[in-house]
Amino acid sequence: MADEPLILGIETSCDETGVGIVRGHTLLADALASSVDQHARFGGVVPEVASRAHLEAIVPTMRRALSDAGVTMADIDAIAVTAGPGLAGALLVGVAAAKGYALAAEKPVYGVNHLAAHVAVDTLEHGPLPEPAIALLVSGGHSSLLLVDDLATGVTPLGATIDDAAGEAFDKVARLLGLPFPGGPPIDREARAGDPAAIAFPRGLTAPKDLAAHRYDFSFSGLKTAVARWVEARQRAGEPVPVADVAASFQEAVCDVLTAKAIAACRDRGVQTLVIGGGVAANSRLRAVAQRRAEKHGITVRVPRPKLCTDNGAMVAALGARLVAAGVAPSRLDLPADSAMPLTVVSV
């Protein structure tokens, strides 16, 4: 609706420089510049390289978003920016830019939580989020299950990974298999030609004794080690590594645990809606397994389209829109970038 506030969101927490513009739940622009190619040969994001790339990309990306949306800075009602968690130097570029634009154009600024933004982005595709909802947040740096009573004011963490994040496991296993970085998309692709039941890889923290203490927690480091041992054994025996089968079996182990625990959380809490966000939510198998299992229990799964799952500016704008609609006060102009911002803090 034309009378809803026009929100601009800036994202620079990792390797994507994103500027999104939304009006209410309507996405008007989602401009993105990625430095992923500059990190590929290192097998992971290099913080200094990412910061410099943000610095070079932020103004052109900003201009592109405004032009795509057909608006000017004067039309914007509020600016939202990722204040954390993420790489300190990378966050600083976005936060400094947001402050500069806010000061120059006299706009309120909201420093927001990147992880809450991964949940909020779904509203751009499916409209308002029915609350309470359970959110499964799976990215390169985080894997958590949350109870979302009110996304504008706070979320309750139910569990999280005790070692590697789900995306990190994809990245490490891809490396083992000689696939490019980031590892999620190539594993997703390879797995389509493989047999998910070919190799029985371990399902972390699902044994009855582990469930007692870690019902909603995840562990992917044992799985990663199991894949490494399996691949090494084949190589030592001088046999070829069946990449598609290993990828499919690994992916199945991850998706099995993520969806089983997410659905258990919904059922335990009597919650009807499961929203999945973060880069790993782009995974085709995760989406399919979640859908199939949720249907059995009358639970609705909401996952945004893959482009909105990975980091972008639209998700930050979407959370900003939610905060403005809820009447949450803007941040102070001296808001800090907080690389370790806790999940429970939605805005600063």
**Minimum distance between the CB of residue 167 and ligand KG4, rounded to whole angstroms?**
3
Residue 171 is labelled as binding a ligand:
yes
Interacting residue with ligand KG4 among 278, 304, 313, 320 (CB under 6 A): 278
Number of residues that bind ligand KG4 (CB under 6 A): 19
> Do 150 and 347 touch, CB atoms closer than 8 A?
no
Selected binder of ligand KG4 within 30, 245, 256, 311 (CB under 6 A): 311
Binding test (CB under 6 A) with ligand KG4, winner from 31, 109, 134, 280: 280
Residues 123-152 contacting Zn ion, CB under 5 A: 139
| 141 contributes a contact to ligand KG4 by CB under 6 A | yes
140 annotated to bind ligand: yes
> Which span (20-28, 156-164, 182-190, 236-244) binds ligand KG4, by CB under 6 A?
182-190
Q: In angstroms, give the least distance from the CB of 142 to ligand KG4.
A: 7
Residue closer to ligand KG4, measured from CB, 189 or 229:
189
Considering only 122, 171, 245, 338, the residue that binds ligand KG4 (CB under 6 A) is 171
167 binds ligand KG4, rule: CB under 6 A: yes
Q: Strand 273-277 relative to strand 16-23: parallel, antiparallel, unpaired?
A: unpaired
Task: Choose the contact partner of 182 out of Zn ion, ligand KG4, none; CB within 5 to 8 A by kind.
Answer: ligand KG4
Q: Which residue reads 């645990």 in tokens? A: 257
Q: 185 or 194, CB closer to ligand KG4? A: 185
Q: Tell me the three-class secondary structure of the chain, residue by residue.
A: CCCCCEEEEEECCCCEEEEEEEECCEEEEEEEEECHHHHHHHCCCCHHHHHHHHHHHHHHHHHHHHHHHCCCHHHCCEEEEEEECCCHHHHHHHHHHHHHHHHHHCCCEEEEEHHHHHHHCCHHHHCCCCCCEEEEEECCCCEEEEEEEECCCEEEEEEEECCCCHHHHHHHHHHHCCCCCCCHHHHHHHHCCCCCCCCCCCCCCCCHHHHHHHCCCECCHHHHHHHHHHHHHHHHCCCCCCHHHHHHHHHHHHHHHHHHHHHHHHHHHCCCEEEEECHHHHCHHHHHHHHHHHHHCCCEEECCCHHHHCCCHHHHHHHHHHHHHCCCCCCCCCCCCCCCCCCCCCEC
Residue 311 binds to Zn ion (criterion: CB under 5 A): yes
Give the separation between CA 80 and CA 86, rounded to whole angstroms: 16
Task: Tell me which of 7, 8, 10, 14 binds ligand KG4, using CB under 6 A.
Answer: 14
Q: What are phi and psi of 281, to 5 degrees?
A: -65, -15
281-300 residues near ligand KG4, rule: CB under 6 A: 282-283
Q: Could you tell me which stretch among 35-43, 54-62, 163-171, 210-218 binds ligand KG4 (CB under 6 A)?
A: 163-171
11 sits near Zn ion (criterion: CB under 5 A): no
Instruction: State which residue, 123 or 139, has the beta carbon closest to Zn ion.
Output: 139
Residues at the interface with Zn ion (CB under 5 A): 139, 311
Residues at the interface with ligand KG4 (CB under 6 A): 14, 139-141, 167, 170-171, 182-185, 188, 278-280, 282-283, 310-311
Binding residues: 114, 118, 137-141, 171, 184, 188, 283, 311
Binding residues for Fe cation: 114, 118, 311
Binding residues for substrate: 137-141, 171, 184, 188, 283
